[in-house]
Structure 1
Amino acid sequence: MNFPIINISELKSRALNSRLINDSFWALFGNIIAKGLALVAGIIVARFLGKDTFGEYGIIRNTLMSIAVFSTFGLGYTATKYVAEYKNSNPAFLRVILKYSRNITLFVSGTMAAALLISANYFSEIVLESSHLANPLRLVALWIVFNAVTTTQIGVLAGFGDFKGMSRINTIVGIITFIFSLSLTYYFGLNGALVALLISQIVNCWLNYRLVKSNLPQRSDSVEIDKPLLKDILKFSLPVALQEALYSLTSWLISLILIKLASFGELGLYAAAMQWNTIILFVPGILRNVILSHLSEVTNIPKRHDRVLKLTLIINFLMTFIPFLIVYFLSDFIANFYGDSFVGLADIISIAVFTAIFSSMSNVYAQAFMSKGKNWLMFIIILFRNISIILLFYLLFLEFQDLKTGSYILVISNLIITAFFFFILSLIYKLKVH
């Protein structure tokens, strides 16, 4: 039997000349450093603060994320799609796309930040039942605006394909976040950790602004206003914004329910485990804009679209499965770094990182849905998924609270629903979208 001869040099040449692989490399390069430093900083911050205060830090971050995600109005992905489509076919539209994206982002995020400032007392006393968290919430309200602008800027840069420039910025911001998180948390506790978040976000926003400006074409023949384009942007962004808001709202509600049913300490355990889930997912997370950019460019070329989709599914699986194995076998070792108060963390980490595999694969299909303009269908799927997670967690907690901790039950619920909906998502894509 004759077997085909694999030409290693040819494969290497094709890989080096593949724009998708090159863009993926640069998207990952800076984030490996940034996420690695963030992980180490997160462990040290948790150790400095202790389980209960780290739980308070977790609920404040979840609150900010819930508000911040909707404050972008989905314009991160929208900007990627429209810039990728127009940068070659009609570059005159680029400036008006950026103008609309910036103005919408500032208006929505500014409104959200003002609302948090005004309602901080009510929110901390009535919702969180911890009145001492009012000032920390006010302290980082401005973070919402800078985070929203940064998200839109990243979307624009992904549309331009400047992943190398973003890699440099991520490296710088990662170092700054590490230094300020450790030093400010050590001296000022919870407030110091929150100020570090704000400082790093401001620096990120400023560096992204400079990079976006350098990518814009120097030609002056731009469109000043285009109402149909604005309508298309809003129409595309609304379901994306609702998807992101739904995800963050679910995360926040789950955190709140965990506090109400259990304690801040259980939320601290869950937040610590989800740090590792986030680390495992950093490759799929960073590649989301890369995937959307490339899928959007070939939306009307089915064979190339399918090829990109299959390749990214393989990449996402490998880039989550391998880190999962490493973290799983080192979970006991990792848990020891958090301190004596984080009892039972190893098992929770193991489940949380296994869930990341199904989440990463689902992210690929989510970008494929978006590239095809099926944003409302994706929103409906996510809505049912998130409701299912909350319901299953509540039911399992009532049934097994005497046998397992609240944080353990929560990660089990998340795993079951995430795995089930990955298969549902892939099936719907093949039957309805493909």
Structure 2
Amino acid sequence: MQKILKIFQSKLFFLKNAYLSQEIDYSKFIKCAIWSVLGNGISRFIYIMATIIVGRYLGRKSLGELGILQSTAGMFEVFAGFGLGITATKYVAEFRTKNKIKLGRIIGLVSFISIITSVVIAVILIIIAPWLGSSVLSAPHLTNLLKLTAAMLFLSTINSVQIGVLAGFEKFKIIAKINMISGLISLPSIILGVKWGRLSGALVGLIIYLALNCSLSFVAVRKECKKNDVYIDYKYKRKEIWVIREFTIPAFLSSAIMGPVTWYCNAMLVKQPNGYAEMGMFNAANQWRYILTYIPGVLSTPLIAIMSHSLGLEKVLPTLGLYLKTTLSYAALLSAAASVLSLLSPWLMSIYGHEFAAGWQVMVLLLGAAFLYGILMPAGNMIAALGKIWLGFLMNVGWSFVLILSCYFLVHLGAKGLALSYLIAYLLHSAWIVIFIFCILKD
């Protein structure tokens, strides 16, 4: 017993020293974080406005249809994106000063592959849209709209690589300006689209937003490369294929499982009695889950960069200190925000229309899941920084298994059952994250 107590005390002493460590300079990270939060906030605002407009004008069922369409596009986008955005960010940041020739080839490589993957996956989506609409979603009338989401998929994939390059150059201010300009121009098109074209009009409005965003980011990348004397080389891109093998593929596999699992659980819900109405309820409440985890999600890229750099210099203690400070900060921020949003949930849900007000319990359950997800995110950043990407993949497999199993037994409860499934999945996900952190302390 005394031996266990000594081990526990030594771990606490180590954690205290890590927390008090001041070796990491936070000023640059804070600047990037502020602009990153602003830029991504504008993008998220556009999608929230689209859901509110559809809910107010077209009702709960149409909002549910919009949710499953976006979920489908998002699932296919995971495969089209192939982890190329985060690959661009990592290697632009690494090589932008020490090897500009190599950097030009890497940008050419990821840009070329993104075009190929986005076209191929978009064509596949168009081809199987009739089968998805009739057999999988039990909604043949959504076939043409599923085909329309192929354009969203293509533009999102190309844009993610461009934004990844800009993030690698640490041009988060430019990214924020691009999102602001695109949002101001395209928001009226979404409103008019819903009014004149109903659900298809809403999708067209979102496509206009993505097209503007993609065009502006394309121009910004070329300007930034010229400014930094980086020539985008498409001719000798094969020399850097090792990037795909060593980083992109494991990173892709780690994230690829999430989209299909989420989509499958959504599909289970819409096939229930009154399924699309329940999906509309879940989709409305789910927007607030995304809001709660917005800041942890946005700060992931800067955190991974700082942790990777620190670990590369063998500064284990400061890196663990950064992890502890970030986790505790997220816990304080998210617990306060989740409490306030839970108290306001009946009113917030009624914004979408009076028929949504009864879904406040769904929102509260999803806020609980969001809290757990948020405080676990720095651990995920640590896993990436340590290069343990296959471990992250196995953890995601475990989360997915629990979510599907829970959904299978609880989906008969409708939107509430799906929300409860997410909460259960993140509770168990927390367990193996704690084990992982304990193993780090042991090492």
Contact kept, 8 Å, 2:42 with 2:176, in 1: the verdict is no
**In the alignment, which residue of structure 1 is the partner of 2:32?**
23
Deviation at 1:432, TM superposition (A): 5.5
Deviation at 1:100, TM superposition (A): 0.9
Which amino acid is 2:384 matched to? Answer: M
Deviation at 1:343, TM superposition (A): 5.0
Q: Deviations over 1:67-107 (max 9, x none)?
A: 01221101111222222222233232211111111111111
1:413 counterpart = 2:421: yes
In structure 2, the CA distance between the partners of 1:254 and 1:320, relative to structure 1 (3 Å rule), is same
Q: What are the equivalent positions in structure 2 for 1:194-213 lying under 5 Å apart?
A: 194-213=203-222
1:277 counterpart = 2:289: yes
Deviation at 1:420, TM superposition (A): 2.4
Q: What are the equivalent positions in structure 2 for 1:151-166 lying under 5 Å apart?
A: 151-166=160-175
Contact kept, 8 Å, 1:34 with 1:175, in 2: the verdict is no
Contact kept, 8 Å, 1:70 with 1:242, in 2: the verdict is no
Structure 2 residue corresponding to 1:77, chosen from 86, 91, 98? 86
Contact kept, 8 Å, 1:93 with 1:222, in 2: the verdict is no
Contact kept, 8 Å, 1:67 with 1:144, in 2: the verdict is yes
Q: Deviations over 1:82-136 (max 9, x none)?
A: 2222223323221111111111111111100011112222221221121111111
1:268 counterpart = 2:280: yes
Which amino acid is 2:240 matched to? Answer: L
**In the alignment, which residue of structure 2 is the partner of 1:340?**
354
Which amino acid is 1:100 matched to? Answer: L
Q: Gaps spanning 5+ residues in structure 2: where?
A: 1-22
Relative to structure 2, which stretch is displaced further, 153-162 or 407-416? 153-162
Q: Deviations over 1:347-404 (max 9, x none)?
A: 111111221111122222222212222111111110111111110121234xxx4xxx
Contact kept, 8 Å, 1:38 with 1:174, in 2: the verdict is no
Q: What are the equivalent positions in structure 2 for 1:245-264 lying under 5 Å apart?
A: 245-262=256-273, 263-264=275-276
Which amino acid is 1:201 matched to? Answer: L
Match of 1:344, SS? helix
Match of 1:23, SS? helix
Relative to structure 2, which stretch is displaced further, 205-214 or 86-95? 86-95
Match of 1:219, SS? coil
1:230 counterpart = 2:241: yes
Relative to structure 2, which stretch is displaced further, 65-74 or 27-36? 27-36
Contact kept, 8 Å, 2:338 with 2:367, in 1: the verdict is yes
Contact kept, 8 Å, 1:81 with 1:296, in 2: the verdict is no
Identity %: 28
Q: Deviations over 1:14-56 (max 9, x none)?
A: 9997111111111112333443454344222212121112111
Q: What are the equivalent positions in structure 2 for 1:349-368 lying under 5 Å apart?
A: 349-368=363-382
Contact kept, 8 Å, 1:71 with 1:148, in 2: the verdict is yes
Q: Deviations over 1:206-232 (max 9, x none)?
A: 111122222225436787636563123
Relative to structure 2, which stretch is displaced further, 32-41 or 257-266? 32-41
Deviation at 1:65, TM superposition (A): 0.3
Structure 2 residue corresponding to 1:219, chosen from 229, 233, 250? 229
**In the alignment, which residue of structure 1 is the partner of 2:254?**
243
What's the Cα RMSD here?
2.4
Deviation at 1:194, TM superposition (A): 0.9
In structure 2, the CA distance between the partners of 1:63 and 1:34, relative to structure 1 (3 Å rule), is closer
Q: What are the equivalent positions in structure 2 for 1:293-372 lying under 5 Å apart?
A: 293-301=305-313, 302-342=316-356, 344-372=358-386
In structure 2, the CA distance between the partners of 1:153 and 1:361, relative to structure 1 (3 Å rule), is farther
**In the alignment, which residue of structure 1 is the partner of 2:392?**
378
**In the alignment, which residue of structure 2 is the partner of 1:290?**
302
Q: Deviations over 1:320-368 (max 9, x none)?
A: 3333222111111112222233252111111112211111222222222
Q: Please give the TM-score of this superposition, normalised by the length of structure 2.
A: 0.87
Contact kept, 8 Å, 1:158 with 1:293, in 2: the verdict is no
Deviation at 1:143, TM superposition (A): 1.5
**In the alignment, which residue of structure 2 is the partner of 1:57?**
66
In structure 2, the CA distance between the partners of 1:189 and 1:35, relative to structure 1 (3 Å rule), is same
1:178 counterpart = 2:187: yes
CA distance in 1, matches of 2:231, 2:357: 62
Q: Deviations over 1:237-280 (max 9, x none)?
A: 11221222211101100010111234111111111111111111
Match of 1:89, SS? coil
Q: Deviations over 1:128-179 (max 9, x none)?
A: 1211111111122122111011112222222211111112122223334432
Contact kept, 8 Å, 2:32 with 2:170, in 1: the verdict is yes
Contact kept, 8 Å, 2:138 with 2:271, in 1: the verdict is no
CA distance in 2, matches of 1:316, 1:210: 35
CA distance in 2, matches of 1:36, 1:346: 21
Deviation at 1:427, TM superposition (A): 2.4
**In the alignment, which residue of structure 1 is the partner of 2:3?**
none
Match of 2:249, SS? helix
Relative to structure 2, which stretch is displaced further, 306-315 or 341-350? 306-315
Which amino acid is 2:294 matched to? Answer: F
Which amino acid is 1:279 matched to? Answer: I
Contact kept, 8 Å, 1:181 with 1:193, in 2: the verdict is yes
Q: Please give the TM-score of this superposition, normalised by the length of structure 1.
A: 0.89
In structure 2, the CA distance between the partners of 1:430 and 1:88, relative to structure 1 (3 Å rule), is farther
Deviation at 1:199, TM superposition (A): 0.9
Work out the number of aligned pairs and report it.
415
